Amino acid sequence: MILIGFKIFIKIFIFILQLIYITITLMIGFIYYKYFDNYKIFDRYYELLVGEIFLIWWVKNILYFIKKLFIIMFPLKISKYVFVKKYKNCIMYIPKRVE
């Protein structure tokens, strides 16, 4: 039980670090193109690109995090599936046979 709590804490901590890293990276790029780019050619396109990348990254990581958290917390409590095996980082499920 302590190990599961520690795994969840580590995943939350890594997720927060990733969020801080991507935010700082995008803000540095945005500030550079906004204030230090003399040509201003890619200004509008860069803002749109940053917004799309940030949104896609947010949605992808949050969905991935929720999925991993669900698999860690409820590995054997899914009634329609049988736990098969853990291979590398993937937990595989197969449907139960209905007879």
CA distance 98 to 46: 53
Q: pTM of the entire structure? A: 0.37
Q: Reply yes or no on whether the pLDDT at 82 is more than 70.
A: no
CA 79, chain centre distance (Å) = 26
Task: Return the pLDDT at 75.
Answer: 56
Residues 6+ positions from 37 with CB-CB distance below 8 Å: 43
Please provide the average confidence, as pLDDT, over all residues in the chain.
66
HSE-CB of 30 using CA atoms within 13 angstroms: 13
Domain holding 58, by residue range, is: 2-95
Report how many domains make up the chain.
1
CA distance 15 to 21: 10
